[in-house]
Amino acid sequence: MTIQLTTLANGFRVLTDHLPHLGTVTSGVWVGVGARNERPAVNGIAHFLEHMIFKGTESRDALGIALEIENRGGEFNAYTDYDVTAYYTQMAAKHVDVSCEIIGDIVLNSVFPEEEVEKERGVVIQEIGRYADEPEDVVYEALRRTAFDGQALGRPILGPKENVAGFGREHLFDYVSHYDPRRMVYVVSGNVDHGTVVRRAEALFGHLTAKDDPFQETVVNKGGAALLKRDAEQVHFMAAFPGVGTEDSASYALRHLANILGGGMTSRLFQEIREKRGLVYSVYAAPIQYADGGALSFYAGTGPEEVAELVPVFFEELRKARDGVTAVELERSKEQMRFSVGKSLESTMRRADRFARTLLRTGEVRTIEQIFERIDAVTPEDVAAAANRVFAGPMAVSAVGKLDHLPSYEDMQGMLKAA
């Protein structure tokens, strides 16, 4: 096991992933708050903060931060998800001291200069506009809005333009106040010494104190349809069903179900809809999982007339899955998932991200052997049970494009329930 974990007196966690054969490190802070911790009036603030956190601290301006990293050949980046926000650098291992210090500085001492807020506001509004021009992004956002209607999980991570247009420094300072040490983990993956990293983290983060718990709603899955007519060459179609949380006993059965139905070229949907019928270029399934719930989603892109044939075939494959999967299909899925996990561990960034997110969601670090055990423990009966559980719940559907030949939502419900 390459992992060592230390929890400071204030609850801040320090995790190192010692890989002595590597010459680079990924280091960063993962925070267990994100877009699902936003109320409607400030939807988009977590993402806006991600943009602003590199724009200057009490001792460095934005260019100074970039120069300290890039003069050493490094890179810095960040991302915002619904349940986590991450800030990280990737540098040569010999520069880990600088990496640690800069990460601590931007997370704790950002001042959000007014002129930078105004400039970045325009950048984010342009980003929102770019996503609005991408039908696959629009149909996914519409699906989430329907499946998680009225919840933060159903609102876009980027937020609406009108919110971003009104964000000021006070909103950023208010949101960063959610950065409780008990909801933070500092991760360094690469050629590092655990004791040294702990001492650095103690000096940087050891003074932080506990905060009030942030706003967060329980996951509630809902049904309905969001049908958006556009003059486009393709119809982008998605469907979602109630999923399970990452720690639910059916979590890995759900992942195998998604993989068998739409996880690769041998998946049922790919074979039936693309290979046999030539109806699509892309079709896939993807679980959406958080600690307390989620959804199982599906996507297919087809022509405006072909959608009339696609949709019944799609629901027929979902109904068949309720009768079970074969041992051969499940074993292939296990091999694919084991390979995917193994491949992810070849990158220090993906290792750091996996360990941090698991720790934030579960409070523990899992070895690759423990993950493989969960993958391998699933039986064909477990997958069938997951299919019956998932497809019995409320169905959300979204579509974007010329929808004259798209079956109605009520007809889709009948297709799924047909004997």
Task: Quote the CA–CA distance of 374 and 360 in Å, as a whole number.
Answer: 19
293, 269 Cβ separation under 8 angstroms: no
Residue 176, both tokens:
């960063």
Task: Quote the CA–CA distance of 416 and 407 in Å, as a whole number.
Answer: 12
CA angle 161, 164, 166 (to 5 degrees): 115
- In the annotation, is 50 catalytic? yes
Number of H helices, E strands in the chain: 16, 11
Task: Quote the CA–CA distance of 325 and 314 in Å, as a whole number.
Answer: 16
Q: What is the DSSP string of 4-35?
A: EEEE-TTS-EEEEEE-TT-SEEEEEEEES--G
**Residue among 366, 11, 361, 371 at smallest CA distance from 186:** 11
Q: What is the DSSP string of 189-238?
A: EES--HHHHHHHHHHHHTT----PPPP-PPP----EEEEEE---SSEEEE
356, 86 Cβ separation under 8 angstroms: yes
Tell the residue number behind the tokens 């009490």, with chain if given: 58
Task: Give the rounded distance of the alpha carbon of 216 from its chain centre.
Answer: 17
Q: Which of 38, 50, 120, 317 is catalytic?
A: 50
The dihedral sign for the CA sequence 81, 86, 89, 94? negative
Active site residues: 50
